[in-house]
Amino acid sequence: MKAIVYEKYGSPDLLELREVKRPEPRPHEVLIKVLAAAVNKADWHLLRGEPLPIRLMAGLFKPKHKIPGADVAGIVERVGSKITHFRPGDEVFGDLSGSGFGSFAEYVSTDEKCLAKKPSKLSYEESAALPMAAVTALQGLLDQGRVEEGQEVLINGASGGVGSYAIQLAKAYGAHVTAVSSTAKVEIAYQLGADEVIDYKLHDFIKDSKQYDLIFDVVGNRSPKEIERVLKPGGTYVSCAFSLGALLLGPWKYLTERKKMINLLASTNPASLQRISKLVEEEKLRPVIDKSFTLDDVPEALRIIGRGQAAGKLVIAV
């Protein structure tokens, strides 16, 4: 089968499209014929081996998993002897980051706990655009942020992969949404449902007097002290980008002003994927695809992700 392979950390130039052996499913695994994949910032970090702590999980000196790619959509080809939830022919989607990655390939064998049935009304490419980014937005806004109707919500980094789903979810739950994005993506943020958009190249939301009930941050470029200035008493800050300051300052701010500061580590599981499917069925969430690539183009897609230039998701049609 054809797969994108990398042997050492570095630039997208190190990625090669190669002929490799098709995997065999182990007893608790499902072999998927991949029809689409999508690119995430996590793929960029794993390609670079940066930030360095990522190597504790991904391999100290060279990547442990040679075929990258987390988001996937495809058809079950075969199942291992212990699989009960899936059978050949099932249409599935999922996030393989908890099971060795490998979606930038024609086939991948993966643990069933990474998968769910694909939303029936979506194409494979649309389905692949959802798992990691949409589940992160779901767990950040709904599970940790507990977004509620009528709340003032600010999304920092609103028109990338995670942010474009966060805008939609906050709106679906009745919040008044302020999106922070660059000039080029202001219109996209409005189209996704934002009530107000702050162009960060022209205006700094930290300097405003407005305060928010919930701030969902996918950029992590502001200090907790700056953030808490624009967080209402009793408000919640959820960060996707690990913030040591939020970790240290959080307990004190909660004790004194009931302000919560939370570092999110999202984890995809079948239940989260099914919630995403249901939101799609209810038309509260739709995939946001910036551009579609082929397997040969994975290096170029990763360059775009690395530069932070995607508006929504970049998908790979396999």
Task: Quote the tokens at residue 220.
Answer: 């992590």
160 binds ligand NAP (CB under 6 A): yes
DSSP E strands: which ranges in 57-111?
Answer: 71-79, 91-95, 107-111
266 binds ligand NAP (CB under 6 A): yes
* Alpha carbon distance 75, 128 (integer Å): 12
74 binds ligand NAP (CB under 6 A): no
246 binds ligand NAP (CB under 6 A): no
Report cis status (omega within 30 of 0) of the bond before 51: yes
* 12, 25, 74, 163: residue in contact with ligand NAP (rule CB under 6 A): 163
162 binds ligand NAP (CB under 6 A): yes
Rounded to the nearest 5 degrees, what angle is found at the Cα of 184, between the Cα atoms of 182 and 186?
70
222 binds ligand NAP (CB under 6 A): no
* Alpha carbon distance 169, 140 (integer Å): 10
C-alpha closest to that of 294 among 1, 93, 43, 4: 4
Binding part of the chain for ligand NAP, among 72-80, 86-94, 154-162, 204-212 by CB under 6 A, reads: 154-162
Minimum CB separation of residue 123 from ligand NAP in Å reads 20
Question: Based on the number of CB atoms within 10 Å of its own CB, is 162 exposed (0-12), middle (13-18) or buried (19 or more)?
Answer: buried
* 46, 73, 218, 227: residue in contact with ligand NAP (rule CB under 6 A): 218
| Binding-site string for ligand NAP from residue 114 to residue 153, where x marks contact by CB under 6 A and - marks none | ------------------xx--x-----------------
Run of H or E including 239: strand 231-239
What are the residues binding ligand NAP (CB under 6 A)? 40-42, 132-133, 136, 156-157, 159-163, 180-182, 185, 200, 218-219, 221, 240-241, 264-266, 305, 308, 310
